Each structure stands twice: as C-alpha cells, then as structure tokens.
Amino acid sequence: MNSAGEGICGLDLQGDIAFANPAAATLTGSRVEDLIGKPHHEILHPTKADGTPYGRDECPISAALREGASRQVDDEVFWKKDGTSFPVEYISTPIRQGGTIVGAVVTFEDITERKQGEKALRDSAMRFRSVTQSANDAIISADESDRIILWNRGAQTIFGYAEEDALGTPLTRLLAERFRSLDKIPMIGKTVELQGLRKDGSEFPLELSLATWTAEEGLFYTAIIRDITERKQAEAKLKEANTELHALQLQLIQAEKMESVGRLAAGVAHEVKNPLSIVLMGINYLADQLPTADGDARNVLQDMEHAVARADSVIRGLLDFSAASVLTLNAEDLSFVVKQSLLLVKHEIDRSHVKVVKELAEDLPAVKLDRAKIEQVFVNIFMNALHAMPGGGMLTVRTYAKRLTEAGHQVGSRKADHFRLGDTVVAAEVEDTGTGISADQLTKIFDPFFTTKPTGKGTGMGLAVTSKIVALHGGTIDIGNRKEGGVRATIMFKAQEKG
C-alpha cells in the first residue's frame, strides 16, 4: 500500500481517516499524520468542483458507509491543504467483518493529465467540426463498408441531402451511376474528376480528393469534394474564346491572302492577257502559212495553241477573282437561281450520264443576291461534282429555309459567326456520289490555285472565286464528305427581312 501510486485512505464508521498511504498525503499536499483522525469529507472534498458546498448526505464516499455499496466517481475534485483542487477518480468500497460494515477504503488518483487530454480532444473535435462545417467544399467520411459517418454543410449545399438523410447511406450514391463501380484504391492520395449526382437527380462535374485513416474500429475514408461546374463553364468559355480567336486569325490571314491574290490577279491578268492574244494570233497566222502536208509543224502549233488556251483559262480565273467584289444585288428566289444554273450545265450533265435529283422548295423567303455571280457559284460546284463522277452517278440539289435555333459552325454570338441565333436562312445543298475528298485536301480547297484535278485539268481558281462571292453576300459555304460517300456542298444566305 505504501508503494502504490494511487492515494489510499481507510475510513472508520464515522468517516474519519484511520490510515493513509504516502501517495494520499502527496496528492493532497499534506503529511500522513496530518490526515489521520480527520473527517474525510472536510479534508478531501468539502465543496464541489464549482465551489458550492458538498453535503455529507450527497457524498458518494459516505454512501459506501451508509449503504454498504461501492461507488466509483470520475467527475469530482479533491482539495489540497493549500486550497487548490485537482480532478480525481476514486472508488469507495465498504469493509465488512462478519457481514457488518466496519469502515471503507477510498482509492483515488489525480486525473489532471487525463482531463487535459480529454479537453484537448474535445477542443480538437470542436475545431475540426468548425473547420469542416465552415468549408464550402463537401467533407465526407465513410467507414470500410462505404457508409457515411461525417457530413458537413458544404456537402449538404452541393448534394442537397440534410445530414440526417446522409448519415449511414452509401458514399457511392453521390456519384453518377457509371462511376459507382470504380475502385477507390487507385484514387487514394490523388485528385480526380468525376460526375456527381445531386438529390434532385441532376449530374454535375466534381473534383474529388480521397484519403484513408485507421482507428480501432477499422479503416475509414475521407473525401473532399468540390463542385467544379463554374470552372468547367469558364474553361468552356475560354475554349470557345480561343476557338473564336483562332477563327478570326484564320479569317484575317485568308482575307489578307485573298486581297494580295486579288491585287496580283488584276495586275497579272491585264499585263499577260494582251501578249497572249498576240501569241495566239501569231499561232493562227503560222498555221495558215504552213503547207498542209507539214504534219510535225502543225502538231507543234497545236501544242502551242493548247498551252496558250490553258494560260488564257488561268487569266480568266484571275480576272473573275479580282472582279468578284463588285455586286449588283436584287431580291431573288434561290430555287429559281439553282434551276437556271442547272440549265447552264445541261449539256455537260447529259454528256456525263449523271442523274439529277431536284428537291427545290417553293415559296422560299427572298435573298439579296447578285444573280449572275451566284449562278457562277453553282456552275462551279456542279462542274466539280460532275468531274467527281466520270463514270456516272447521282447529283442531288435541294433548297430549304430554316430558323437557326442552335449554336454551331458559323452560328452564335461570336464576332467570327456569320449568323445569329434566331436568324432565318435560305440554304442550298449539292450532293454527289463521287469518291469524296481526302482530309488534308479539305482544308485547302478554297485556296487560290489549289486543285484536286490532274495537272493541266484545272486552274484551282473555281472554289476560291466561289468562296469569295459567297462571303461577299454575307453567306457561308461548307464542303465536306458524306457518310454515304461523295461530297456535300452547303451554301447558306440570310433571308431578306419582310417589310
């Protein structure tokens, strides 16, 4: 007893201290002889922890003497000789002889460090809860069976579930169905982007950081989840802005290129056309002067004539390109313009054995067009389609009007867009059943002098002129491959407003 670390006091039936060990004296700041014979109640705990008087009839130690029952208490204080107190845990056990209570033994220990530790733990828990509850992000913990054990206000805001509705439910129900079977292990210690599922059933993008921790009860997971809807929207807007900027840059480059080519075309065409005319006159003169029998010389002159004709064709293309900017606009019916354009290539259509399918809408809204130049546009497109079907095929031409209700290529609020949502447009589509155009060529088809035809078979100016004419009308032209095979060219113009 003397070597015990706990304080031990023996009490007689009157509650006076009959014996005390050294630890009891040390803990109470007294000497053993000062404790012997003194009433325990006045010496050890005359008042409660808050300083209010502690009556004998309330004293658990005295109850062991009165009632003969052991009492264990850990929420009181004992007082020292110097008037200070310390938190104590004690056990009061009655002593019996022959079934009669003859006294009691009180064993006690100073639990100051334990109380401080408990307070620190409570403070830490309060700070943790304060931090978690004030966080905008969702902070959620789950046990090894995936059941939620911690749910903060951020989680309630993001997912829509109140804490009482979330606790005990599976963590995976917060994810979109397609993500629920993912293994958590590879995500531990990382930040991943997934799709969350709110209480109302709506999905949203989230960023999840997952960590694990262990306790006596087992393994636990804590997830910090951030709603990144606004960030994704900002990224989409940034991407859209970059796309718009890139489109504007390409348009600027193309416009500068076209302007340069136009100036060059006008100058070269006028400078070269007259000398070519003189050369052609000379060839014709020499042909008249040569004897009929001189076959070799005539073959040379024919080759020269073909070369000059080829050069003249290029010059005409240059002149068309440089002169395209002058428009004479009138309200026109696009279906009628298409019909007239088909008549201009009727001979070539008949000779190529291509079947023409016309799906031309009636009563289309009027479009402000330079009819002659738009006929030139359609003739260029029709001829390209016929050349793509040397063995025959089908040429489908359709017209229609529609109201633009969805943003898309050249449709939206960007500066680079030709049309706005809500605009009514009149469109023409030309489809062939040829072999199509390779992906690398599709990006170049509107460049001056670019052609997919064999050398000597095309000037490469047709689609450049076509694109320029359509752009001058405020329209768009899009050429791409069809899934069924062949090429589709789509031309759109804004409908003329009524009134």
3-class state of residue 9 by DSSP = strand
Query: Is residue 370 within 8 Å of residue 335, measured between CB atoms?
Result: no
CATH number for region 327-494: 3.30.565.10
**How is the chain split into domains, by residue range?**
7-110, 117-227, 231-323, 327-494
Q: What is the dihedral of CA 186, 192, 197, 203, to 10 degrees?
A: -140
Q: How many CA atoms lie within 13 A of 206 on its CB side?
A: 26
Sequence-ordered strand ranges (E) for 310-373: 330-332, 354-359, 367-369
Encode the chain (499 residues) as per-residue pLDDT tens digits. 677 888 999 999 998 999 999 999 999 999 999 899 999 888 887 777 777 888 777 888 888 888 888 889 888 899 898 888 899 999 999 999 888 899 999 999 999 999 988 888 888 878 877 777 778 899 999 998 889 998 999 999 999 999 999 999 999 899 998 888 877 777 778 888 999 999 999 999 999 998 888 888 888 989 999 999 999 999 988 887 787 777 677 767 766 766 666 666 666 666 676 777 788 788 888 877 777 656 777 788 887 887 777 677 666 666 666 555 678 899 999 999 999 999 999 989 988 889 999 999 999 999 999 998 899 899 989 999 999 998 889 999 999 999 988 766 566 666 556 778 888 999 999 999 998 888 888 877 777 666 666 555 555 667 888 888 898 888 999 999 999 999 999 999 999 877 5
- Same CATH topology for 7-110 and 327-494: the answer is no
* Helix, strand, coil percentages in the chain from 3-state DSSP, rounded to 5: 40, 30, 30
Q: How far, in whole angstroms, is CA 332 from its chain's centroid?
A: 45
Name the fold adopted by 117-227: Beta-Lactamase (3.30.450)
Domain 231-323 has CATH 1.10.287.130: yes
Closest to 10 (Cα-Cα) out of 95, 133, 129: 95
pTM of the predicted model as reported, rounded to 2 decimal places: 0.46
Q: Which fold has domain 7-110?
A: Beta-Lactamase (3.30.450)
